[in-house]
Structure 1
């Protein structure tokens, strides 16, 4: 009899829905997007070093000390995707610069979006 009551209690516990509170999604750019933005803004011929990249992220308000691992994985994934090219060093150390092919694509997207904004502005004015 006691076993049956334990079983019923377990079933009731399993039926109850657990309410999970989800964290609000952060507003702003992801770490990868911030890194791409910093490297693209750099005028260094050999690319931006990791130390300079971390300084640029910190200047932009990103907490680099707290998110070291996140910065490393973002750099690794950007190199794997081909967005960044590693000019010096290995793994996540050294210098990085934008891949010329992806930079051209990014510029073309910017031009498309700016021309779309101009046409929408014209439509609103007339």
Structure 2
């Protein structure tokens, strides 16, 4: 069963540019470490301090293996250090979701490429 890791970030609204650079870095790091990155999503209209990161995994075990690889990845470590140094993330929440049977997202999950 495919799971979706939804990371909700509360941002310093005056440091959105810094967060966007952070998100761009993950576009290379996450796939290299085994995650299937759907994308990072920035505020556009309305609330100006909430961003989302969406990553698919085949299972929670695959997520745990990804986290272990991420801890030893030089790019990942550098990106985490940048976030701590620049303090553009005020808080972060992770939620793990599955597609509801019969929902539109089920077609997305079934048709996605598998992570190598």
Fold in common (TM above 0.5):
no
Q: Would you tell me which structure has more helix in proportion to its own residues?
A: 1
**TM-score (norm: length of structure 1):** 0.29
Bigger Rg, which one: 1
Q: Which has the higher contact order (CA 8 A, sep 6+)?
A: 2
